[in-house]
A and B are shown apart, each in its own frame.
Chain A
């Protein structure tokens, strides 16, 4: 009697579980009309077959998800309404902007995408390949020609860089598309020592400069880490390698040996950085306990207890760091910027597989990328309330509004294509030209357009990641003799299987270059 009860019940539970599992079924196909990659000639209007899809009389709610510092800024509803109004001319929809806080963005979007929540566009940061491989986002290569022709025109090359083989999983967001590193330091000290930043061109020059600073200010912590817990000179490696799998392996940006995959830790550059770290640590340039600090570089700069840090450099760094730290900083780029697939494809607006209206979503993104009015709304908020025009194409805070009480604030690099909108009053002059220069003058990696499929080496990646975490901060902070530690590090990496990853990467690169001949 008892047993029967149990059996029957378990059967019911199992069935219920099965049904629940079934409910997760989603069709991942992209809709769209039958015509293939025909591009529309008319920039302003959409042709009739697509407009029937877009203007089908149904007010679909299109949800766009992106990160921000607050999930409900004061002007949210107004911005949504304003954008909806403009968009309704060509698409029947209602625009819903879902803002998720930075620190929890990755986790929450991952949950939303895995559980099939009905969102229509999401900003993927650094996880495009993984999301594509696990079916979270959809391939838009068929639809893009039809629904986003303007964007193709404006973003051209960069979109090409986002293709994974024949498939495209999103639209890149305009920003700095290359990585470079250098010294970011306090302007006032430079001026005191009468140093002209333009004379500092190499790491050797930086070495001399740091020596001068140490001599003049013996109690100052010369350098602080750019990232917490990653080691002091973690960023110094920026610009050497197009890291096809981040922090493990890649090819040289400057193409010196073409498509040869290397473990970045076995390279001469890494050894040099390790030695530099050891040297500077011995000389006392590093802040104590650099690997376990809890205070950020911004805090140290604003407390005036340090000179600077070695970090990422791009045209917006100076403004960004100065505002955050509250002191004026100078940026001195040392490594030439390198541009590869990961730089371009790192941040994209993707369309989730579970979206009910991918065509409309893509068309909406197209408008965001090409329509200046929408761009300004998304970027700066409501004119007159959140910003005013202070000069031709330059926006600024109205009286009484500042960064604390503004009703809307959004990052430049996640509005899709900020170049078509206004610049901000604190940006350097012709900031967009500067970005273009920075991007166009980069070393373009020979592997541009290649995307590494890590599915066959997942186990090795797990093991290698653990080994790397063991040594990375130590080596980048120069805590012990690099000759020994780097050797030990590489040995453990080999045991963990890094060679398998490199070989797999090489094989894929060879196959890719074949198919591209």
Chain B
């Protein structure tokens, strides 16, 4: 009884969030069945006919299926790894720098790209990559070289997209890891300093291990999103240029292009469901894996 009494405040704390998730996420979740139905709005979702997996076919039967899946996954893996390394690098460096003013400036600037929308990024990218008046081509010409028609040459785009994604998202990871580093108990460092260790050793043996939990958490969360892609990055930045489609097409852009005339809600819902299921399986696997090696950091 006393235990229940002690737990009541906990339930009360959980209540607002719980109610919110119920209303915002769970009640609409019934809509997942749209993926399996041929929905007619005049008779409602509930009364519409079941069509099994028919709405999913277009994702697999198309000749592009392999391509879009490969693109989505490979880009995401590169994004996750690269952003991890760079964000950690920035976070560690920022935590080391003594001059407050410098840190303030660096931090503000690194965070900036995170704050603007991808559409604006696509305009900026265009300013750099435009064939005629673009800045890169201007530079190349000044160095005596020919202009490159960036928007019709697929081979440069994997790099371009990775760089742009890093530029835009690394600020997020940096701040998360930085705040984690700042939370490390100073006494640990002081104790180590007494034993006389170098800066590098400090980073390697104290800082990184102490924030390992945060890193693992971030990785697990990212793994669940591996079938999703940033629509703005893959559709708007390449200016939907046809020549680049093979290297910039992901599941999300494929669905968008395909359904824009059809407007079929069952098919787009099926795509979303497919992405969710894969993410779900991956997180469960990754979580199980984490449970075996580092139990306290698993998500559940």
Where chain B touches its partner, the secondary structure class is: helix
Check A458 against B44 for contact (C-beta < 8 Å): no
| A132-175 interface code vs B (CB 8 A; 1 in, 0 out) | 00111010000000000000000000000000000000000000
- A288 is contacted by which of B28, B131, B239, B240 (Cβ under 8 Å)? B131
Nearest CB of chain A from residue B52's CB, rounded to whole Å: 14
> Are B258's CB and A465's CB within 8 A?
yes
Q: Are A17 and B132 in contact (CB under 8 A)?
A: no
Query: Which B residue's beta carbon lies closest to that of A475?
Result: B242
Identify the closest chain A residue to B39 (Cβ): A134
Do B45 and A470 have beta carbons less than 8 Å apart?
no
Listed stretches B55-63, B158-166, B278-286; interface member: B55-63
- Docked CA distance A495–B64 (Å): 10
Task: Enumerate A231-290 residues with CB–CB distance to B below 8 Å.
Answer: 245-247, 288-289
- Which B residues are CB-close (under 8 A) to A20? 27-28, 30
- Interface-facing stretch out of A23-31, A42-50, A362-370, A437-445: A23-31
Q: Which of A26, A130, A458 has the most CB of B within 10 A?
A: A458
Flag B78-105 by CB within 8 Å of A: 1 or 0 each.
0000000000000000000000000000
A18–B240 Cα distance when bound, in Å, is: 40
**Residues of chain B contacted by A289 (CB below 8 angstroms):** 130-132, 149, 151
Give the residue name and chain of the A residue nearest to B22 (CB).
A13
A69 to chain B, nearest CB (A): 20
Kindly identify, within residues 275 to 315 of chain A, every residue whose CB is under 8 Å from any CB belonging to chain B.
Answer: 288-289, 291-292, 294
Q: Does A16 contact B (CB under 8 A)?
A: yes
- Which residue of chain A has the shortest Cβ distance to B150 in the bound complex? A292
Point out which of A21, A26, A247 has the most chain B C-beta atoms below 10 A from its C-beta: A21
| Number of interface residues, chain A, beta carbon within 8 A | 51
Q: Do A26 and B263 contact each other (CB < 8 Å), given the known contacts A459-B61, A466-B249? A: no
Contact A461-B258, Cβ < 8 Å, known A291-B239, A470-B245, A474-B243: yes
Chain B residues lying within 8 Å of A113, measured Cβ to Cβ, are 41
Tally of A-B residue pairs with Cβ under 8 A?
150
How near does chain B come to A481, taking the closest CB pair, in angstroms? 14
Closest to B131 in A: A289
With both beta carbons as reference points, the residue of chain A lying nearest to B258 in the complex is identified as A462
A413 at the interface (CB under 8 A from B): no
User: Which of chain A's residues has its CB closest to B243's CB?
Assistant: A474
**In the complex, are the beta carbons of A21 and B241 less than 8 A apart?**
no
Contact with A along B22-53 (1 / 0, CB 8 A): 10001111110100000111111111000000
Chain A residues, CB < 8 A from B132 = 288-289
**In the complex, what distance in Å separates the CA atom of A229 from the CA atom of B267?**
26
B262 at the A interface (CB under 8 A): yes
B25 to chain A, nearest CB (A): 10
Considering the complex, give the chain A residue whose CB is closest to the CB of B127. Answer: A294
**CB-contacts of B244-287 with A (<8 A):** 245-246, 249, 254, 257-265, 267
CA distance A473 to B238 in the complex (A): 13
CB neighbours (8 Å) of B26 from chain A are: 13, 16-17
Question: Within B134-153, which residues are at the interface with A (CB < 8 Å)?
Answer: 149, 151-152
Known: A22-B44, A25-B43, A462-B58. A471 touches B258 (CB 8 A): no
Question: Are A496 and B151 closer than 8 Å at their CB atoms?
Answer: no
Q: How far is the CA of A245 from the CA of B261 in the complex (A)?
A: 9
Residues of B within 8 A of A462 (CB): 58, 62, 254, 257-259, 262, 267
Closest to B240 in A: A229
Q: Which of A1-33 contact B (CB under 8 A)?
A: 13, 16-18, 20-22, 24-28
B190 to chain A, nearest CB (A): 43
Please tell me which one of the listed residues A354, A469, A496 contacts residue B240 in the complex, with CB atoms under 8 A apart: A469
In the complex, whether A417 has a CB less than 8 A from a CB of chain B is no
Please determine whether A469 and B46 come into contact, CB atoms closer than 8 angstroms. Answer: no
A21 to B31, CA, bound (A): 7
C-alpha spacing A135/B263, complex, angstroms: 13
CB of A216, distance to nearest CB on chain B (Å):
22
Q: Are the CB atoms of B42 and A138 closer together than 8 Å? A: yes
B249 to chain A, nearest CB (A): 7
Question: Quick check: is A114 within 8 A (CB to CB) of the other chain?
Answer: yes
A21 touches B242 (CB 8 A): no
Chain A residues with CB under 8 Å of B149's CB are: 289
Whether, in the assembled complex, B289 has its beta carbon less than 8 Å from a beta carbon of chain A, the answer is no
Chain B residue nearest to A23 (CB atoms) is: B44
Q: Is A420 an interface residue (CB 8 A)?
A: no
A17 to B58: give the CA distance in the assembly, Å: 28
With CB as the reference atom, state the residue of chain B lying closest to A457: B262
Q: A110 at interface (Cβ–Cβ under 8 A)?
A: yes
Contacts of A229 in B (CB 8 A): 239-241
Q: Does A72 contact B (CB under 8 A)?
A: no
Compute how far the CA of A463 lies from the CA of B66 in the bound complex, rounded to whole angstroms.
Answer: 13
Q: Can you identify 28 A-B contacts, CB atoms within 8 angstroms?
A: A13-B26, A16-B22, A16-B27, A18-B30, A20-B28, A20-B30, A21-B31, A25-B43, A26-B44, A134-B40, A134-B264, A138-B42, A229-B240, A289-B132, A291-B151, A291-B239, A294-B239, A354-B41, A354-B42, A458-B262, A458-B264, A458-B267, A462-B62, A462-B254, A462-B262, A465-B261, A471-B242, A473-B241
Known pairs A24-B46, A288-B132 / 20 extra A-B pairs, C-beta < 8 Å: A18-B30, A21-B33, A25-B46, A26-B42, A110-B263, A113-B41, A114-B41, A135-B42, A229-B240, A289-B151, A292-B131, A294-B239, A458-B264, A459-B58, A459-B61, A462-B62, A462-B257, A466-B62, A469-B242, A473-B242
Q: A-contacting residues of B (Cβ < 8 Å)?
A: 22, 26-31, 33, 39-47, 57-58, 61-64, 123, 126, 130-132, 149, 151-152, 239-243, 245-246, 249, 254, 257-265, 267
- Chain A positions within 8 Å of B, measured between CB atoms, are 13, 16-18, 20-22, 24-28, 110, 113-114, 116, 127, 130, 134-136, 138, 229, 245-247, 288-289, 291-292, 294, 353-354, 454, 458-459, 461-463, 465-466, 469-474, 479, 492, 495-496
- Which 8 A-B pairs rank lowest in CB-CB distance, beginning with the nearest? A28-B42, A462-B258, A135-B40, A17-B30, A135-B42, A353-B42, A288-B132, A24-B44
